[in-house]
Amino acid sequence: MAPTFYHRWPEPVTEKSGSMVQSQCWGWKCLSFGLILVVLGLLVPLIIFAVRANSKACKEGLLAEQECRTVTRLLELQLAQTRQDLVGAMGEAATCNQTVVNLSTSLEMEKARGLEHLTRREELQREVEKLKEKLQKASEEAERLRKEKEAWSKQGETSFGSSSKLLSPLMVPVCLFLGLTALLA
C-alpha cells in the first residue's frame, strides 16, 4: 500500500496561535542574539590575533626565524661537507700510517742487513789480517830459505845446490797455493 501524505492547512491566527508566534519570535530573537554574541566572541580574538600577527615584532620574529633556518641549512651543509672531508682525511691518515709501518719495517730490515754486512766485513778483515800474517811468515820463511840457499851455495856443495835450484822455482807456486788455500778456508 502506498503511503498517504497529509497536508495541514495553516490555521487561522487566533489568540492561542498569536502567543505561539510571539514565543517563536522571541526564540528566534534569543537564538540570533546568542549567535551574534558567539560571532562577536570569536571575532574579537580573531581581530586581536590578526593585529598581533601583523605587528612589527611578529614580522621581525618571522624574518629572524627564516634567517635562522637559512643559516641552519648552510651550517648543516657545511657540517656534511666537513664530515666527508674528515672521512677522506681519516682514509689518507690510515694510508699514511700503513706506509709508515711499511717503511719502518723496511728500515729495520735494512739496518739488520747493514749490521750483517758490517759483521761480515769485520770477519773478512780479520781473515785478511790472518792471511797477511801468514803471507808475512811465508815471505820471511822464503827469505830465510833464500839466505840459507846462498849460504849453502857459498860453501860450494854442488849436489845440494843443484837440488835447491830445483826447489826455488817450486817454492813460489807452493807459497801461493798455501796462501790461496788459507784464503778460501
Query: What domain range is 147 assigned to?
Result: 46-184
Number of domains the chain contains? 1
Is 74 a residue whose pLDDT tops 90?
yes
Q: What is the pLDDT of residue 114?
A: 93
Stretch 9-13: mean pLDDT:
56
Domain assignment present for 120: yes
Domain assignment present for 54: yes
For 118-166, the three-class secondary structure string (H helix, E strand, C coil) is: HHHHHHHHHHHHHHHHHHHHHHHHHHHHHHHHHHHHHHCCHHHHHHHHH
Domain assignment present for 111: yes
Query: Under a CB-based contact definition with an 8 Å cutoff, are residues 121 and 136 in contact?
Result: no
Domain assignment present for 4: no
Q: 141: pLDDT confidence band, cut at 50, 70 and 90?
A: confident
Domain assignment present for 8: no
pLDDT cut 70: percent of the chain above it: 78
Length of the chain: 185
Residue with cell string 830445483: 166
72-82 burial by CB neighbour count: b if 16+ within 10 A, else e?
eeeeeeeeeee
Q: 89: pLDDT confidence band, cut at 50, 70 and 90?
A: very high
Spell out the residues 6+ positions from residue 183 whose beta carbon is closer than 8 angstroms to its own: 127, 131
